[in-house]
A and B are shown apart, each in its own frame.
Chain A
Amino acid sequence: NAGVTQTPKFQVLKTGQSMTLQCAQDMNHEYMSWYRQDPGMGLRLIHYSVGAGITDQGEVPNGYNVSRSTTEDFPLRLLSAAPSQTSVYFCASSYRVDNSPLHFGNGTRLTVT
């Protein structure tokens, strides 16, 4: 098993550009989520999904869209990048939706200039 795979590892965008961060898991996990990590602020939940076709907002959803067309994939779309979205983004999944351990991907470091 590859676990949780995120691409790309690094990305630089100009303000106003759009892009998609990819996340895939091969563990047949029901639950998938996106977090952003900023210095001194821990990890904050952006969006999450409890199964294919079902998504919901987390703590900081503005400026981001998600979809879950398959169990394996959970892409995060930045619609119009802003400098405030400069961060490290982590995708995480778990086998069940009821507080089972999260497995994190290796992260994507995004810089918006």
Chain B
Amino acid sequence: GENVEQHPSTLSVQEGDSAVIKCTYSDSASNYFPWYKQELGKRPQLIIDIRSNVGEKKDQRIAVTLNKTAKHFSLHITETQPEDSAVYFCAAGKAAGNKLTFGGGTRVLVKP
């Protein structure tokens, strides 16, 4: 089955700096790569997703890049703010069905 590795497990950045989280996946048939943000005690919420026919996608301060050949994808957060502090999860899935395999999560702390 699919295996998703996520790094780093924790990330501390100064407010205004950039944060980068990286994920690798094992199944070359995976073609959907969402990112979820989970604040303490809350539910995961989708922040951005990318499909395999696209190499990069951006939404304001958040961007995701995908390298299908190397089987890795990354989340970039620019100009970080304290409200960006949360746990971020990457995931990978295939077209047939919505079975997502999640990475282990990255705890991001933005220091004011």
Residues of A within 8 A of B (CB): 31, 33, 35, 40-45, 48, 50, 58-59, 90, 94, 96-102, 104-107
Q: Which of A40, A100, A105 contacts B9 (CB 8 A)?
A: A40
Q: Which residue of B lies closest to A32 (CB)?
A: B98
Q: Which of B47-68 contact A (CB under 8 A)?
A: 49, 51
- Determine whether the beta carbon of B98 is less than 8 Å from that of A98: yes
Q: Among the listed B51, B96, B98, B103, which residue makes an inter-chain contact with A33, where contact means beta carbons less than 8 Å apart?
A: B98
Min C-beta distance of B101 to chain A, whole Å: 7
**17 new A-B pairs (CB below 8 Å) besides A90-B44, A98-B97?**
A33-B99, A40-B105, A42-B103, A42-B104, A42-B105, A43-B91, A45-B99, A45-B100, A45-B101, A90-B43, A94-B98, A99-B31, A99-B98, A101-B34, A101-B49, A102-B36, A106-B43
Binding site for A on B (CB under 8 A): 1, 4, 6, 9, 31-32, 34, 36, 42-46, 49, 51, 89, 91, 93-105
Q: In the assembly, what is the distance between CA of A31 and CA of B43, in Å?
A: 18
Interface majority SS on A: helix, strand, loop or mixed? loop
Inter-chain contact B31/A59, CB cutoff 8 Å:
no
Q: Provide the bound-state CA to CA distance between A88 and B92, in Å.
A: 21
**Residue of B at shortest CB range from A38?**
B104
